[in-house]
Amino acid sequence: AQSVTQLDSQVPVFEEAPVELRCNYSSSVSVYLFWYVQYPNQGLQLLLKYLSGSTLVKGINGFEAEFNKSQTSFHLRKPSVHISDTAEYFCAVSGSARQLTFGSGTQLTVLP
């Protein structure tokens, strides 16, 4: 069985400040890890993914994440956020069965 914990339900941050959204997972098998973003009343858009290889993963819109196997974490970071980054962010894990298990989400609010 797999599970995902997103440690912060809401993260307010000022524009142009750095941000980190935290994600921890548990799994008994090798995993694939993902971050998705969801804007109001829309589906999910893939930000980045870790399938194998380099533990530092770069995604769209300037986001990056680091896979840490020993700490079972996959935190999302951006060095400088914009108003347009305001959205709900979901961390997800996929094991051998391929379906995604999502965390409960982190609402990122970028303040002017």
Partner 1 sequence: DTGVSQDPRHKITKRGQNVTFRCDPISEHNRLYWYRQTLGQGPEFLTYFQNEAQLEKSRLLSDRFSAERPKGSFSTLEIQRTEQGDSAMYLCASSLLVGDKAYEQYFGPGTRLTVT
| Binding footprint of partner 1 on the chain (CB under 8 A) | 4, 32, 34, 36, 41-46, 49, 90, 92, 94, 97-105
DSSP label at 109?
A: E
Nearer to partner 1, 55 or 80 (CB): 55
Helices (H) and strands (E) in the chain, counts: 0, 12
At its nearest, how many Å lie between partner 1 and the CB of residue 55? 18
Nearer to partner 1, 7 or 100 (CB): 100
* Structural element, H or E, at residue 18: none
Nearer to partner 1, 15 or 38 (CB): 38
At its nearest, how many Å lie between partner 1 and the CB of residue 67? 15
Q: Under 8 Å CB-to-CB from 92, ≥6 apart: which residues? A: 4, 33, 34, 35, 36, 100, 101, 102, 103
At its nearest, how many Å lie between partner 1 and the CB of residue 112? 25
> Which of these, 24, 109, 38, 14, lies nearest to 70 by C-alpha position?
24
Nearer to partner 1, 73 or 101 (CB): 101
